[in-house]
Structure 1
């Protein structure tokens, strides 16, 4: 199962085990069970602190538990093979079960161990999903550190019938005590906060107790990270309030245009950004969604940012870097069938539509790339583009047109998502040339039509463009003195990671310049 490189890496990691662990497999006679047996045998052979048994009796075959020998339990189970993006999750599960400390703040770890509720989690993931590992690893840690919880982590491709029966059409998907609970990427902090009934009150009290910052960065994507690093290096007391550190980068798979780095992945880059920011004395406040900006001219002192939980932060200067999010079609049925056939991440959810018919909405680079990727998995792809021609790079268009299972429809306005109440069954579109309505029967719709800035909360507080972008000058200054902005939420013409980083640095330096002059 493991090549020489992975074997060498795993052996090195297993040398870090502090306590013996045991793997107990429940296997059948199928090919996946044989692969699971092979994987577990190879792992056990790499360390004298790992033992393996193959006499498990769980109904899901193949599956296996990971438990510390000294405190044998079966609270953590992988069903299917955790390879691909989940191999790291497997390694971490082995290390944590063996007593190696997780790289989690003591505050969050204490919160996890003190959770008093009792729940059984089942989570479905795909091996190509780059959003799934965070959820897999969060549930893994919770199950290993708190006896009130169990976690069964299920590879959807191995259990396709189960996925279909339970109506799972997007991953990550988490069931709690048998009922659907969460869908989409969540961090350990977010999941722990949802399980901790007193978390919000504690967070509000902690934030309200903070002294005013010299610079408060709102948003933790590439622009926010760069701004925080530049201001912190000036010796300025800096805070970062972010709904989730990393921003939209966390939802990006391959990144091949970040200058000097030929290829990386969004979650990896986001982790590097957070690590770099933490090299300085920056107060990072995750799970903090801004809801209102009150300029200093109204408060008579500091700028104030009110958060969705009711807490507020004050600062001499503010840098807004709230980024953007995927644009919705805003047609009947889209919201009703979100995660029931309507999806926004082809890499994450594409494998769930193996052998089925899907549509991709949007003919830009993102849409055409999605259609190309999906064509290798699904039975048929219909690409629907509003304009009279696709806008993607020529090389991508040529590749798409070469594929035998792709239909391209241009000058088409999607008008409705159709479904049977449980899942998507098709879509309707209007031919913009003839005004004629058409119906396409399918099982999945992937929306790839660009971004919308996260600035609704700023209406009335400062100048926004007709598209809702924050208007800035060459120094990143907004219409409000002492408030700067950077990244995809602004009028900067090109929404790129490297441009956002440069804009964040500009905003950070401008905030410093503003403070020393005022």
Structure 2
């Protein structure tokens, strides 16, 4: 039995464990991947106050700081939480953990395009992380699908590695911040394709060779020759394992109150997996700080 189990080691989860243990609570952090969450997939952090740093570096700093006050980190994919009233049972593979309180910070996962060839070529020309896989396409041509901040950030990042970036946008305008659009316009190897939507992926010799797109108005098909495809068309919350608890909304995001507590007493949540307007590192750490400090106060 421990005081707090944190599920997810992104900024929200690491901050919750930091604040809770610093205030005297015991905590275990569970995650099925490397500490830091999506920070590990981010080239540069430019909008976290006081910090201009590479994502993985900030992730490791948060991780070390979290452990410095006694939090334990364990690898595990959580599949279920049992609410036993005064305590909770967390199932992760063959292991079970018990705690008075649980903080869920599992974040989101990249939405797939759902077109022929995508699943087959995932990891073999289709990638959802430019920072991870961009160097494999040095001096080649790639397509980025999407018109929001993530798509434009990744397009700018890739433009410094590859020969040509084609950006496929379903609408006739970008949804990205003006700051990013200004940076995009400074790149001469990025070509925009508005009012286009992906239809299928062409494969030659077991490699991605083209992206077939349809005109959003006429439906006319055309093919963009490419060596790689990076979809950034949205995110879905990783909350399937708690849907039986009745704490998620219709979109799958977890609903919380001002203390980050769900409708199930003793179960808290924060970060990108929660229903909120702005999903950023700074808002994730805010959620974790509120929950961690509040949980610690309940133990006294």
Decide which structure has greater strand share: 2
Deviations along 1:159-212, one digit per CA (max 9) or x if unpaired, are xxxxxxxxxxxxxxxxxxxxxxxxxxxxxxxxxxxxxxxxxxxxxxxxxxxxx1
1:303 aligns with 2:88: yes
8 A Cα contact 2:201 2:208, kept in partner = yes
Q: Distance in 2 between matches of 1:223 and 1:362?
A: 26
Q: Distance in 2 between matches of 1:376 and 1:315?
A: 47
Aligned to 2:69: 280
More divergent stretch after superposition (313-322 vs 442-451): 442-451
Q: CA deviation at 1:402?
A: 4.9
Aligned to 1:319: 103
Unpaired runs of 5+ residues, structure 1, are: 1-211
Aligned to 2:177: 393
Aligned to 1:249: 39
Q: Distance in 2 between matches of 1:347 and 1:232?
A: 32
Aligned to 1:293: 81
Q: CA deviation at 1:312?
A: 0.8
In the TM superposition, 1:101-500 aligns within 5 A as 212-244=1-33, 245-261=35-51, 263-285=52-74, 287-297=75-85, 302-307=87-92, 309-420=93-204, 422-500=206-284
Q: Distance in 1 between matches of 2:112 and 2:222?
A: 21
> The residue matched to 1:347 in structure 2 has which SS?
helix
Q: CA deviation at 1:513?
A: 4.1
Q: CA deviation at 1:390?
A: 1.0
Distance 1:249 1:398, change over 3 A: closer
Q: CA deviation at 1:255?
A: 0.6
- Normalised by the length of structure 2, the TM-score is 0.92
8 A Cα contact 1:216 1:240, kept in partner = yes
Q: CA deviation at 1:378?
A: 3.0
Unpaired runs of 5+ residues, structure 2, are: none
Q: Distance in 1 between matches of 2:252 and 2:50?
A: 33
> The residue matched to 2:32 in structure 1 has which SS?
coil
8 A Cα contact 1:356 1:379, kept in partner = yes
8 A Cα contact 1:317 1:515, kept in partner = no
Higher CA-based Rg: 1
8 A Cα contact 1:248 1:325, kept in partner = no
> The residue matched to 2:119 in structure 1 has which SS?
coil
Distance 1:270 1:400, change over 3 A: closer
Q: Distance in 2 between matches of 1:449 and 1:379?
A: 23
Q: Distance in 2 between matches of 1:417 and 1:296?
A: 48
Q: CA deviation at 1:439?
A: 2.1
> The residue matched to 2:73 in structure 1 has which SS?
strand
Q: Distance in 2 between matches of 1:395 and 1:241?
A: 36
Q: Distance in 1 between matches of 2:44 and 2:160?
A: 17
8 A Cα contact 2:41 2:131, kept in partner = no
8 A Cα contact 2:150 2:232, kept in partner = yes
Decide which structure has greater helix share: 1
Distance 1:404 1:265, change over 3 A: closer
Higher relative contact order (CA 8 A, sep 6+): 2
8 A Cα contact 1:241 1:289, kept in partner = yes
- Normalised by the length of structure 1, the TM-score is 0.55
Deviations along 1:335-361, one digit per CA (max 9) or x if unpaired, are 111121112232343333233322111
Aligned to 1:19: none
Q: CA deviation at 1:254?
A: 0.7
8 A Cα contact 1:417 1:426, kept in partner = yes
Q: Distance in 2 between matches of 1:302 and 1:269?
A: 33
Q: Distance in 1 between matches of 2:31 and 2:159?
A: 36
Distance 1:508 1:429, change over 3 A: same
Distance 1:432 1:250, change over 3 A: same
